[in-house]
Amino acid sequence: MQTHEIRKRFLEHFERNGHTVVPSASLILDDPNLLFVNAGMVQFKPYFLGEAPPPYKRATSIQKCVRTGDIENVGLTTRHNTFFQMAGNFSFGDYFKEGAIELAWELVTKSQDEGGYGFSPDRIWVTVYQDDDEAIALWKKIAGLPEERIQRRGGDDNYWDMGVPGPGGPCSEIYYDRGPEYGRDGGPVVDEDRYLEIWNLVFMQDERGELSPKKGHPPIGELPTKNIDTGMGMERVAYLLQGVDNVYETDLVRPVIARAEELTGRRYGVNPEDDVRFRVIADHARSGVMLVGDGVTPGNEARGYVLRRLLRRIVRSARLLGTSEPVLGTFAEVVRDAMGPAYPELATDFERIHRVVTAEENTFLQTLSTGTRIFDVAVAETKSAGRSLLTGDKAFQLHDTYGFPIDLTLEMAAEQGLAVDEDGFRKLMAEQRARAKADAAARKTGHGDRTVYRELLEQGATEFTGYQELASEATVRGLVREGQRIRSAGEGEIVELVLDRTPLYAESGGQESDAGTITSPNAELEVLDVQKVARKLWVHQVRVRSGEIAEGQHVIAQVDPEWRVGARQAHSGTHVVHAALREVLGPSALQSGSYNKPGYLRLDFAWTSALSAETRSEIEEVSNLAVRRDLPVRVVHASLPEAQRMGALALFGETYDETVRVVEIGGPWSRELCGGTHVDHSSQIGPVMLLGESSVGSGVRRLEAYVGIEAFRHLARERALVQNIAGMLKVPNEELPGRIESLVERLRAAEKELERLRAAQLLSNVGGLADAAEDVRGTALVATALPDGVGGNDLRQVATEVRNRLGGRPGVVALFSADPAAGKVNFVVATTPAAREAGLAAGKLVPSFAAEVGGRGGGKPDMAQGGGTNPAGVPGAIVALRAALEGTAGA
């Protein structure tokens, strides 16, 4: 049974049983606890936590997931994957244990002719939480399972939570017995290779605190409702139903290995080391393409770093298999073709995906070239020292600084007849991971006590009236200070305020929250910020300017009209610039983030190279032509699938409700999912003026622009600046470029002449410096400070000339130049041939005095240079150098 058929049967089974089919969320969600979505329940967390009322009682989904905690194990085993699809069914206060077990058992064991998976009931085993007698009784009643095929396990195996305060509960796992040829008798508690877990049913009923029930600590309470969260591994079910031994041989993964075989000329299943590399390629290719598809770009931090690591492991594995050709583009094509039927956006967005992965491969190939040179130096140093072991810190430096994979270091070292201190390398890697883990733990906030918001949500969602009006009558539903409900707040206090209805826009979709006021007969409040809680509750942060505000009072919430005008212009301007960008660069130039406030916008988009001045001008012109055409702005409400069929663009990482808001500017010219406030016609945006374009990471560029009155003001400032410069130079505006170019050329010529004169002046003192050399135990020492601000090149030139004047005698020249304003000092040390014959090397003399100037340096025996941060230490450095020579000269 093909994987797409397994997927289809799962969704149809639960849809027939009253579940709403919910599309997979993006792999990137705004969750402080998650780098990527790693479970099917993540998009439903607000419903499980009681932060928002669920729009349905039953749901089912096939969620794309990425787990990166065991990247190093991928390929070494046939069980570890970074990307996988989690099929799940969910109940929000509807059915519980009995319903979950019935639905799972029916799908797993029903014959394939009847739409099930057709697993033999005699080969099914289950595990339950250690004291869950109810689940045991239900498995016996519903499935007729005998006692010996139901096994109890502790919290580590059969209790589920998110690893942070929040929902949790006991679970029951379904296993399939693959047969005695795969391992020992005795069920899952004995052998989880033979008995393969395919489905986990979580009976979500508890709220855990800081300490997890998985470790025996009691829950802190019960959830408001009992819920069901299940997860069935699509890949595991696929390889069982397809009669293969592991996920890498299933229909959606094996094609990547087949393409790797074509490229490398090697065969999977012949050599165990090669098999590991084939599996790494197959797994990481899927993960990489899915991540890029959801808007991640390679980088050096967080998600971008994980993606970069995955893609580079593919390139490295392919090279170890023997190919030197570019590979990421062709592997991406295979993944697109395999996964496209389930995720059609991979095909429609493939141009961008292909561009991102091929750019990263090109970057990595340059890194490999640099790393190889560093590796060659390390090998030469190791051999010259008579060692046969490349140190762990050198291997770590290659890995951490130059992105050089350790297995490539190992293989190349072996070719040179060297071993690598792997223990030292692993220790340094462990220390780095520990630091990263501690940093992640510090940022991990969990889901603390949100009871105050749950209570307010139980009274209903906030009605947002801001699309229709700027002022609304409302009732104060609640006041919150430091997480606690309060009855009232007085003058000068800053509190959170929840209304039953509000015209004030809450920050979202890149748009800043509205400015405004909330007034009552007894109080006046300034609105500082507006945020959404659980996408349903508008929480206003306010400062009480005067009077007292109390729960239950009637108020008027008012948006600052000038603020809203600018905000509408900026948000609609963002859509216009995005559409113009796609018109000029092509449909693959997709927005990957935005921010706008009155009069200003910035837009991040996936692109791998800087835009030329001509391209920027074209984007600006297309934007302003759209403004001049006075395009109508229309809002359409539709289901998410309907909006996608309309071609509406969604922002990476955003979560959308079942019914979405589509904003059109000029019909299909600009059509995006958006909850922001917008103008009625494009002409109301006013002029659009691009300020610049820059890089904000690998494969991501940023455009910034002013719109409306801010664009006029910027142009006025620019005009005044041009007029002032024209006045100073006494030329008409149109002649400014030529006059400025002429002045720049004259300035450059003057700078060159000054540089020549300064160098001549420095060199004119060479004879005097050489004549003033002092004798230190038979060595001529010239150690002095030159005038402030002399650069390294000039220092080297003077040092060379002085050294030449010393003739055939042993001599050391040390010249210093301070820059007190910058807190820096430069130095150069040079030695004569006779000094080097006597054992005096410039590079080895630097450490004797460098600490005095707070710096370091190095070089060759004849010339060394460096710098420091303590200009006042130059006299001490000269003394230290003299003392070093007194201890070594003539020895």
Tokens of 804: 């030449």
| Pairwise CA distance, residues 119 & 125, whole Å | 12
Residue 443 in this model has a pLDDT that exceeds 50: no
| Pairwise CA distance, residues 540 & 479, whole Å | 10
Ligand-binding site membership of 681 (annotated):
no
| Pairwise CA distance, residues 258 & 269, whole Å | 12
Ligand-binding site membership of 575 (annotated):
yes
| Pairwise CA distance, residues 333 & 872, whole Å | 62
Q: Which residues are CB-neighbours of 6 under 8 A, at least 6 positions away?
A: 117, 234, 237, 238, 241
| Pairwise CA distance, residues 340 & 871, whole Å | 64
Q: At 70, is the pLDDT very low, low, confident or very high (cuts 50, 70, 90)?
A: low
Residues in the chain, overall count: 891
Q: Which residues are CB-neighbours of 727 under 8 A, at least 6 positions away?
A: none
Q: What is the pLDDT of residue 450?
A: 58
Ligand-binding site membership of 65 (annotated):
no
Q: What is the pLDDT of residues 801-829, one digit of tens each?
A: 999 999 889 999 999 999 888 889 999 99
Return the closest-CA partner of residue 783 out of 852, 874, 699, 854: 874
Q: What is the pLDDT of residue 99?
A: 96
pTM over 0.75: no
**In degrees, to the nearest 5, what angle opens at C-alpha 409 toward C-alphas 405 and 411?**
115
Quick check: helix, strand or coil at residue 341? coil
Q: What is the pLDDT of residue 32?
A: 63
Strands 124-129 and 150-153: parallel
Fold exhibited by the domain 765-888:
Diaminopimelate Epimerase; Chain A, domain 1 (3.10.310)
Q: What is the pLDDT of residues 598-636, one digit of tens each?
A: 999 999 988 878 899 999 999 999 999 999 999 999 999
- Residue 325: phi, psi to the nearest 5? -80, 155
Q: What is the pLDDT of residue 445?
A: 40
Residue 291 in this model has a pLDDT that exceeds 90: yes
Q: What are the beta bridge partners of residue 824? A: 819
Tokens of 634: 């229309």
Q: What is the pLDDT of residue 767?
A: 83
Tokens of 461: 């969602």
Contact predicate 168/160, CB 8 Å? yes
Tokens of 158: 């059969």
Q: Which CATH architecture does the domain made up of 451-559 adopt?
A: Beta Barrel (2.40)
In whole angstroms, how far apart are CA 249 and each of 72, 235, 239, 279? 20, 10, 7, 10
- The average pLDDT across 402-413 equals 74
Q: Which residues are CB-neighbours of 690 under 8 A, at least 6 positions away?
A: 577, 616, 619, 620, 703, 704, 705
Instruction: For the chain, give the mean pLDDT.
Output: 89
Tokens of 159: 């209790």
Q: Which residues are CB-neighbours of 701 under 8 A, at least 6 positions away?
A: 604, 605, 607, 610, 611, 693, 694, 695
Q: What is the pLDDT of residue 446?
A: 41
Cα-Cα-Cα-Cα torsion 12, 14, 16, 17, nearest 10 degrees, comes to 170
Using only the alpha carbons of the chain, give its radius of gyration.
35
Q: What is the pLDDT of residue 533?
A: 85
Tokens of 283: 């797994």
| Pairwise CA distance, residues 336 & 333, whole Å | 5
Q: What is the pLDDT of residues 511-549, one digit of tens each?
A: 999 999 999 999 999 999 999 987 889 999 999 999 999
- The average pLDDT across 87-107 equals 96
Higher pLDDT, 374 or 27: 27
Q: What is the pLDDT of residue 561?
A: 96
- Cα 101 from chain centroid (whole Å): 38
Q: What is the pLDDT of residue 449?
A: 47
Return the closest-CA partner of residue 45 out of 166, 126, 199: 166
- Residue 744: phi, psi to the nearest 5? -65, -40
Fold exhibited by the domain 564-716:
Threonyl-tRNA Synthetase; Chain A, domain 2 (3.30.980)
Q: Which residues are CB-neighbours of 312 under 8 A, at least 6 positions away?
A: 360, 364, 367, 403, 405
In whole angstroms, how far apart are CA 732 and each of 736, 738, 745? 7, 11, 20
- How many other C-beta atoms are found inside a 10 Å radius of the C-beta of residue 316? 22
Tokens of 592: 């990957």
Q: What is the pLDDT of residue 448?
A: 42
| Pairwise CA distance, residues 282 & 259, whole Å | 10
Quote the strand ranges of 8-82, DSSP E.
Answer: 20-21, 58-66
Ligand-binding site membership of 674 (annotated):
yes
What sections of 586-652 are H helices per DSSP? 613-628, 640-646
Q: Which CATH architecture does the domain made up of 3-249 adopt?
A: 2-Layer Sandwich (3.30)
